[in-house]
Amino acid sequence: MIPTELTTNQTQQIEELAEIIRFHAPLVAFTGAGISTESGIPDYRGPQGLWTTGNAKPFTYDDFMNSTEARREWWRRLPAHLDEVEARQPNAGHLALTAIERAFVMLAIVTQNIDGLQQEAGSDPSRVIEIHGSSRMIRCTQCGERYLAREILEVYGDQPDPPPCPNCGGILKSGTIAFGEPVPQDALRVAFTVAQQAGVMLVVGSTLLVNPAARIPGIAKDAGAYLAILNKGQTGLDEIADLRVDAPAGQALTYLSERLLSSEPGY
């Protein structure tokens, strides 16, 4: 069924993409904030994004590491923040991407998102590479050990100050990457590797303006992959894309999954 919200040109583009994926696997997906806006999570650099409107308040890594009060404030706000994170539900775009993952040769879903919704939608966690970390996790800044935020709160939540790392005694912080904090090199290396192995790189909901994550689709293109971009508005790699679909992620991915899962190639 063709979604009524998609134009004839958009559906034709998506049908073309489905045929490309059928014959040029393996597939790697690269997702940004635009796939999660339909779950009620604001994006950053879209027309009404937090960065565009000036509503984003940068949280720097140095501030956190050098201020006991900043860490105490983070710990105080964590329960309500985690409740909000866990209340979000995957939307049609996440579910469609999971369906595609299960039906086709998808090496990985590389995401800039920190919401964990792709895993909540049923994607294999081992195939989801979170470049900017996860708001559902807590990480030690010293030994790198990662913990479920909910489990840490259950054990230490009645304390006024955040606990030290149970493994090494280091400083715990949110599992997301703060401003000024380096992107985890292990996640970046894996993302670069799968990008070089992709037959099709599908970008969904990203302006491709934040490096080093935004380099990943370009690496795939340089290695010979077909580069398809599905995003509302312009991106930093539009000029080198093989296909550019300007459409909402949920509607477009749902139609793409229907075409790919259909037993009949094309019409």
Dihedral of alpha carbons 35, 97, 228, 246, sign: negative
pLDDT at 124: 95
Annotated catalytic residues are 132
Domains and CATH numbers, the chain: 1-41+90-132+183-267 (3.40.50.1220), 52-87+137-176 (3.30.1600)
pLDDT at 78: 96
For residues 126 and 207, the answer to whether their CB atoms sit within 8 Å is no
Choice among 114-118, 243-247, 261-265 with the minimum mean pLDDT: 261-265
Would strands 133-140 and 172-176 be described as parallel, antiparallel, or unpaired?
A: antiparallel
pLDDT at 95: 97
Nearest to residue 204, comparing CAs of 56, 82, 93, 85?
93
* pLDDT greater than 50 at residue 244: yes
pLDDT in tens, 155-193: 999 999 999 999 999 999 999 999 889 888 899 999 999
* pLDDT greater than 60 at residue 50: no
CA distance 139 to 165: 8
Question: How many other CB atoms are found less than 10 A from the CB of residue 166?
Answer: 14
CA distance 31 to 119: 13
What's the per-residue H, E or C state across 150-205? Answer: HHHHHHHCCCCCCCECCCCCCEEEEEECCECCCCCHHHHHHHHHHHHHCCEEEEEC
What is the pLDDT of the chain when averaged over all its residues? 91
* pLDDT greater than 80 at residue 266: no
CA distance 252 to 259: 11
The arithmetic mean of pLDDT across residues 17-44, rounded, is 91
Choice among 37-51, 95-109, 186-200, 206-220 with the minimum mean pLDDT: 37-51
| pTM, to two decimals | 0.90
